[in-house]
Amino acid sequence: DSVIAARYEELRGKLPYHTVTRILTEIVYSLNGTTLRPSGGIYWLPAEKLERFEMACHAVEAASRDRKSKVFVLRTLLDQSSLAAVRDALTAEIAREAKTIDEKLHDTTTGHHAKATAKRHAQSLREKLTRYEADLGLTLADLRQQLDEATGRVAVATLIESAASLSESLQPA
C-alpha cells in the first residue's frame, strides 16, 4: 500500500500540460464556451459560466503538487475585435465538429448508439449557435447551414438504419 501511495503522490502532479489543456478545453465546451486558439489555452465563455470555470481552474491549480500550474481568468470588454475572434473560433469549432459527425456517418462500423450521440451533439451545437446569436448579436446562418448539412446526414443514416432493422424483423424465420 505504501508503495502505491508513494507512486500516486509522485505522479499526481505530473500531468503533461497538453493533458491539462485538453481537460480545460472539454470543460469550456461543456460550459458552452469556445477555444480562441486551436491548441487551447485561450478561451471565451458566456459571463454566466465564468464562476463554474473558475472552480475548475482552482481545482487544476490545487492538483498541482508544486503549485506551478496557474490558470488566469481575464474579463474583457466585448468589442468588434473580440466578437470577430469569438466568431472565428466558433466557425472552426463547427467545421471540426460537423466533419466528425460526417465521418461517423460514413464509417460502416458506426452503430445506432453512436449515430444517436452524434445527433444529440449536433442539436447541442445548434442550440449553442442560437445562444451565441442572441447573446452576441451575431448572424451565424453559414455555420447553421454547415451544421444542418451534417445533421441531415445523421437523420438520413438513422432512417436507413431503421428501415434495415425493420426489414430484418419482417423476414420470415
pLDDT at residue 130 in the model: 86
Half-sphere exposure of 48 (CA within 13 A, CB side): 4
pLDDT at residue 135 in the model: 84
* DSSP state at residue 1: -
pTM of the model: 0.69
CA-nearest of 107, 147, 146 to 124 is 147
pLDDT at residue 54 in the model: 92
Question: Which residues, at least 6 apart from 63, have a Cβ–Cβ distance to it below 8 Å?
Answer: 12, 13, 15, 69
**Could you tell me the three cell numbers for 100?**
466528425
pLDDT at residue 13 in the model: 61
Helix (H/G/I), strand (E/B), else coil: 44: strand
* Alpha-carbon distances, residue 21 vs 12, 15, 60, 85, 126 (angstroms): 16, 10, 10, 19, 25
Kindly give the parts of the chain with pLDDT less than 70. Answer: 1, 8-15, 65-67, 151-169, 171-173
Helix (H/G/I), strand (E/B), else coil: 35: strand
